[in-house]
Amino acid sequence: MKEPAGEVLDQLLRERHSCRAFLPKPVPREIQETILATAQRSASWCNSQAWQVVVASGAAVERFRAAMVEAASSGRRDSDFPFPAEYTGRYLERRRECGFQLYNAVGVERGDKAGYEQQTLENFRLFGAPHVAVLSSDPGLGVYGAVDVGAYVQAVLLAMQAHGIAAIPQAALASQSTLAKSLLGIAPERLMVCGISFGYEDTAHPANSYRTRRAKLADAVSWVDH
C-alpha cells in the first residue's frame, strides 16, 4: 500500500513523457508562475539555487526559433558544457532504442540520413512549442551547479505534468549556447545547461505516440549491508 502522496508522485512520473509536437495555444502566465514557484523549492548544494531561467514567449520565442534553426542548419556548434564524445555499451543501446522509436513513429526509415537531420532540426524549431525556458548555472559553482539545475529541471517537468502542461528538456539547444544567451539577454559568462520547450501537447501527432522504457531497479540500484 502506498501513501497517497506516493501514488500521486508515482503517477506523475509514469505519465510524464517528452513532448515533441505542441499545439500553438499559449500557457497562461499565472500557470507558468505557479509551476515555476513550485520548482523554486528544489534542493541545491548549500542552497545556492544555481538556476536562472529566462522564458521566451510571443515575438521573443519566434525570434529565438528562427535564429536557432538558422544557426543549427549552418552546422556550427558551441556549448558551455562538453557534449558526450560518444555513447557506448548500454548507453548506446538506449540511445538507439529511443531514437528508433521516434523515427518509426514519425515515419523516418532506417538509414535515411536526411530524415534524421530534418527530425534533429525539430529541436531548434522547439517542436512547435509556444514557449521555451533557457536554464543556466553560475560558472563559479562548477559541475554541482549543473547538478542543481538538473534537479530543478525534474521539478519543473513534474510540476508541468501536474498542471497538464507538456514539455521537453533539450540539451540540443545548448549546442548554440552563445547565440541562445545573446538572444535572451543572458550574461555570456553564465553556463547554459539546457532548454525546456513547453506548451499543450498535440496528442494526435505521431511523435507523441510512443513511450520509452526504463531499466529494472536491480540494474540501477544495489544495497550494501555488511
Site for ligand FMN, rule CB under 6 A: 17-18, 98, 123, 168-172, 194, 212
Nearest distance in Å: CB 83, ligand FMN: 10
Q: Which is nearer to ligand FMN, 108 or 168 (CB)?
A: 168
Distance (Å, rounded) from C-alpha 79 to C-alpha 14?
31
C-alpha cell at 17: 513523457
Q: Which is nearer to ligand FMN, 42 or 123 (CB)?
A: 123
Q: Which is nearer to ligand FMN, 9 or 98 (CB)?
A: 98
Q: Which is nearer to ligand FMN, 63 or 211 (CB)?
A: 211
Nearest distance in Å: CB 226, ligand FMN: 35
Q: Which residue is nearest to ligand FMN (CB)?
A: 172
Nearest distance in Å: CB 223, ligand FMN: 26
